[in-house]
Structure 1
Amino acid sequence: MRISAYEDLPFAIFQYLPNQEWELRKELDLLMTRLKEFGKQVYILPLSQLLQVALDKIQQKDKYEGLEALIVLEQQRGYLEAQRQMITYLSEPIWAPLWNVLAEVLLPLDPCGTITFLTGASALAPGLFQVSTLLNKMHNRTKVPTILFYPGSIEGTTGLRFMDLADRNALGNYRVKIYS
């Protein structure tokens, strides 16, 4: 099964409108059943779980950082400041870059027999992390075919507007095929 034209970036995006979340979940169950009938293992990875793994890694590095520190920061200085700190956690090499966390989670999976579904991208809203950055940073990091289920609208052939938010720029990656 080939979802991507690039072996070094075996990702695809399935774009759906945010108001279709419940329909998508039902269809995912059916798709998983069909893939299993063809001998594929389906690994569902909610992005919220990936965020939790990242926060746990941060806490292990520094007991004064992580989720509790974010909660206190938000209480004292507001949501935007806490969001900026989370972006730092997920982007800086000294903490837990989200692409490293994803690569570690995918590492033990068999690329020939497994397909991964990245779900729950709305956990990254409104501005915790750009999905396009995550995919760009996964170049040459895994061979496991992975489909990101993306809530948003599509513009042109590669532009995706996250959660269909009017104030967000449409971003994309020309190397990752978009299905809708």
Structure 2
Amino acid sequence: MDIDKKIHKIESKIKEPSFLENKGLSNEVGYYIFDYDPKYELKVRDEVSRLKNKYSLESNYSFSIIEFDLYEILIEILKDKGYLEKVFKFEEKKGIEFTTKAIINLLKLNSDKNLIVNYILERTPNNCVVFVTGVGKAYPILRSHNVLNNLHQKLDKVPVVLFFPGKYSGTDLVLFNTVEGSNYYRAFPLIS
């Protein structure tokens, strides 16, 4: 499907009553993935920004859109904990792979105490649609399937849309159309 047509369908989809009632197929919790060719990143960002502004908390709509940029959350948490500058120095001495593992451990990304997931949970009001962005910017530290799996276990009061720069087959996530990820079966394509 043409990217402009696909982007144009986002707004009508998120306004559907079944979507807002947080029901996916078979009445499961509504987790969705909007996948797109990474070359359209800026177009997708523009549409996310437009929708977020239109459906803000201050708007007169029955719901609002709350965006969580994974990269921005990662940086904010590292700053708040006083680790951001240390991470830069650590990377110079130990390299990116070692630093990535250290950040994953620091942020408890592979546990129930995942700081990214808790950040999102603490800031998600009722009557909203959660947009998760920044997947490509946060790679390789954050893996989208990991965030979704942990979030899916804890957040079931509102629909969640992950904006994914790559391909989602309905079972597999392929970041940037080249980086094979783990299977993720609980989300539905936002636009088919």
Runs of 4 or more off by more than 6 Å in structure 1? Answer: none
Query: Which of the residues 6, 13, 30 maps onto 1:10?
Result: 30
Q: 1:89 to 1:178 in 2, by over 3 A?
A: farther
SS in 1 for 2:146: helix
Letter of the structure 2 residue corresponding to residue 70 of structure 1? V
* 1:148 Cα deviation from its structure 2 partner: 1.0
Shift of 1:177: 0.7
Match of 2:40 in 1: 20
Unaligned runs of 5+ in 2: 1-16
TM-score, reference length from structure 2? 0.72
Q: Distance in 1 between matches of 2:106 and 2:31?
A: 24
- Whether 1:98 aligns to 2:112 is no
- Quote the RMSD (CA, aligned, Å): 2.8
More helix by share: 2
Change (3 A) 1:48 1:170: closer
> What displacement does 1:131 show?
0.8
1:38 to 1:25, Cα distance in 2 relative to 1, 3 A: same
Distance 1:6 1:81, change over 3 A: farther
> What is the aligned partner in structure 2 of residue 67 from structure 1?
84
**Letter matched to residue 177 of structure 1:** F
| Number of aligned positions between the proteins | 166
Q: 1:144 to 1:87 in 2, by over 3 A?
A: same
Given residue 171 of structure 2, which amino acid in structure 1 is its aligned partner?
T
CA contact (8 A) 1:89 1:95 kept: no
Q: Deviations over 1:2-39 (max 9, x none)?
A: 25347774321111111001121233345443796753
Whole-Å Cα distance in 1 between the matches of residues 183 and 111 of structure 2?
Answer: 23
Residues 1:50 and 2:73 are matched in the alignment:
yes
Q: Is the 8 A contact 2:145 2:181 kept in 1?
A: no
Q: TM-score, normalised by structure 1?
A: 0.76
Say which SS state the counterpart of residue 184 (structure 2) adopts: coil
Contact kept in structure 2, 1:8 and 1:141, CA below 8 Å: no
